[in-house]
């Protein structure tokens, strides 16, 4: 009886599956017949016409390589929107090639196409730098104009402290605050720094009137190109992913890396030697700090699978989204650098972010496969790496000397001196930055939003002086051995 019933069940299921398959074919066949694969070919060459071999060319689904003559041929997926290259080390895109873009939009009609990519040699770039900007999130033209101040500051720093080495910019998403019409203006503002930028998609870069993640992202793609891609500079392999998945209603989204990206990344890594250093940029963080109690949807839900895929490499993840500044060791082989927002607190409190980090940007320098980093506050020297408070200035620790060290990680040391004599290591604690809170209280009636307030940070340190009238000096030493002195002025 069991066998008869099982056979009947299987026959029934077979009929159901067959009917469902026919139904799907009726629904999707017209679409698939329209969205057919396209054959694309072309050449990767230098501005002088010389070919460039072994350059990866992709449609986001498969990867081919240019041959000895620089020629490539790829049959693109019906779902592909671009054909693009992984720019090799020692080169940058020439303005003669598709306005300097590493990508070319695919034509909608089913026609064979020829696309050439032209590269400009940059010379040896084993030593290079990259500037990381967090969440511009502009809401109006005044905010866009403020972005120009960052570009001017970056250009000045690039032409002085970084003079003589290649520099590129990386923006970790949320170029706009739900204002896709400002995409072009933001790009023009950043271009004042006179360097190339790479972008990742943020949750505020979506069109929230769309029904799906794919259609919500199309306007971003029209302005910034593919949502995931790679490039090389020196010994570093760079990867940009899209970890913002739109759920199709009222701006709802989750942190999630799609299977198509995992498959493409698997192919991409096949040509990256194990043990190499990878810099990966995405918008939403893959990890966080427990005391902030971040909602699960505010970080990447399937991050563990990403870590597993990257287990054979030394990885630095650049993320944004929180508008706060942190360096976290996600796994023994993965650093995550969560970048503070250049918009401060949503362009209302413009001097600092909610955790007290002054508005600014991070500067990373790669020498071979080794990377160092520091924080550059807007309009200030990069030698300023902390903000100190005398006794009575921090209401959370009124009897103590306190200091905020915004670029802190666990390898830093924070100590203090009384009248030039070493007094000990300062005690780390979690609290709120006094100056940011003071500014918010003072200016609250001028803000567009009444909910603006400070956010807790564990980058604070305290010590109780033996002699409150002594000259106090705080010595901060970063993980790279660079020391910064700050003297406390008692009021």
Domains 39-121 and 387-488 fall in the same CATH topology = yes
**Strand runs (DSSP E) across 276-390, as ranges?**
277-281, 314-319, 326-331, 334-338, 360-367, 370-377, 387-389
Question: Is pLDDT of 435 > 50?
Answer: yes
> Poorest-confidence range of 253-257, 289-293, 479-483?
289-293
Instruction: Work out the number of other CB atoms within 10 angstroms of the CB of residue 90.
Output: 17
Banded model confidence at residue 199, pLDDT cuts 50, 70, 90: very high
CA-wise closest residue to 174 among 183, 166, 165: 183
Question: Is pLDDT of 18 > 90?
Answer: no
CATH of span 39-121: 2.60.40.1120
Would you kindly state where each structural domain of the chain is located, as residue ranges? Answer: 1-34, 39-121, 127-377, 387-488
Q: Rounded mean pLDDT of the chain?
A: 91
Residue 142 to residue 175: CA distance in whole angstroms:
14
pTM of the predicted model, to two decimals? 0.91
Higher pLDDT among residues 63 and 489, named by residue:
63
Question: Is pLDDT of 37 > 90?
Answer: no
Q: pLDDT at position 291, please? A: 85
Q: What is the DSSP letter of 257?
A: -
Residue 469 to residue 466: CA distance in whole angstroms:
9
At 228-241, the pLDDT tens digits run 999 999 999 999 99
**Which residues have CB under 8 Å from 108's CB, separation 6+?**
none
CA-wise closest residue to 133 among 94, 206, 187: 187
CA-wise closest residue to 388 among 491, 269, 268: 491
- Per-residue tokens: 119: 């590269």
**CA angle at residue 334 from 332 to 335, to 5 degrees?**
110
Residue 342 to residue 377: CA distance in whole angstroms:
10
At 87-125, the pLDDT tens digits run 999 999 987 666 679 999 998 876 778 999 999 999 999
- Per-residue tokens: 430: 């979690």
Question: Is pLDDT of 9 > 60?
Answer: no
Banded model confidence at residue 436, pLDDT cuts 50, 70, 90: very high
Q: Is 127-377 in CATH node 3.40.50.261?
A: no
> What kind of architecture, by CATH, is found in domain 387-488?
Sandwich (2.60)
């Amino acid at each position: 009886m069991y066998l008869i019933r099982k056979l009947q069940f299987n026959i029934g299921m077979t009929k159901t599956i067959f009917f469902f398959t026919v139904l799907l074919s009726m629904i999707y066949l017209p679409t698939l017949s329209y969205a057919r694969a396209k054959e694309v070919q072309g050449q990767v060459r230098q501005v002088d016409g010389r070919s460039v071999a072994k350059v990866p060319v992709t449609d986001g689904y498969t990867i081919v390589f240019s041959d000895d003559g620089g020629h490539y041929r790829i049959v693109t997926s019906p779902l592909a929107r671009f054909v693009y290259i992984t720019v090799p080390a020692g080169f940058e895109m020439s303005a003669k090639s598709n306005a300097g873009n590493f990508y070319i939009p695919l034509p909608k009609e089913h026609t064979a196409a020829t696309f050439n990519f032209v590269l400009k040699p940059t010379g040896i770039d084993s030593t290079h730098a990259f500037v990381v900007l967090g969440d511009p999130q502009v809401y109006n033209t005044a905010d866009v104009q403020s972005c120009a101040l960052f570009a001017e500051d970056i250009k000045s720093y690039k032409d002085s402290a970084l003079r003589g080495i290649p520099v590129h910019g990386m923006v970790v998403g949320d170029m706009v605050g739900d204002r896709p019409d400002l995409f072009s203006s933001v790009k023009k503002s950043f271009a004042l720094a006179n360097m190339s930028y790479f972008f990742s998609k943020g949750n505020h870069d979506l069109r929230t009137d769309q029904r799906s993640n794919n259609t919500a992202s199309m306007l971003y793609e029209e302005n910034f190109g593919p949502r995931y891609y790679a490039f090389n500079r020196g010994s570093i392999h760079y990867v940009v992913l899209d970890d913002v998945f739109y759920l199709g209603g009222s701006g709802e989204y989750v942190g999630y890396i799609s299977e198509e990206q995992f498959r493409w990344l698997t192919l991409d890594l096949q040509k990256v030697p194990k043990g190499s250093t990878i810099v990966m940029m995405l918008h939403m963080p893959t990890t966080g700090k427990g005391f902030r109690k971040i909602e699960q949807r505010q970080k990447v839900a399937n991050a563990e699978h990403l870590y597993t895929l990257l287990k054979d490499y030394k990885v630095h993840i650049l993320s944004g989204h929180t508008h706060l500044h942190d360096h976290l060791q996600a796994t023994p082989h993965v650093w995550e650098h969560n970048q503070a927002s250049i918009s401060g607190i949503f362009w209302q409190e413009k001097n600092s972010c909610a955790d007290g980090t002054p508005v600014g940007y991070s500067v990373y320098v790669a020498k071979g496969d080794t990377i160092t980093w520091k924080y550059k506050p807007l309009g200030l020297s990069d030698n300023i790496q902390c903000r100190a408070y005398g006794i009575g200035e921090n209401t959370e620790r009124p009897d103590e000397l306190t200091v905020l060290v915004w670029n802190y990680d666990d390898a830093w040391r924070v100590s203090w001196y009384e009248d030039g004599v070493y007094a000990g290591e300062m005690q780390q604690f979690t609290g709120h930055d006094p100056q940011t809170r003071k500014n918010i209280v003072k200016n609250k009636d001028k803000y567009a939003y009444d909910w603006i307030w400070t956010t807790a940070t564990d980058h604070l340190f305290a010590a109780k002086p033996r002699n409150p009238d002594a000259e106090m000096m705080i010595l901060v030493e970063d993980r790279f051995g660079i020391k910064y002195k700050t003297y406390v002025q008692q009021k």
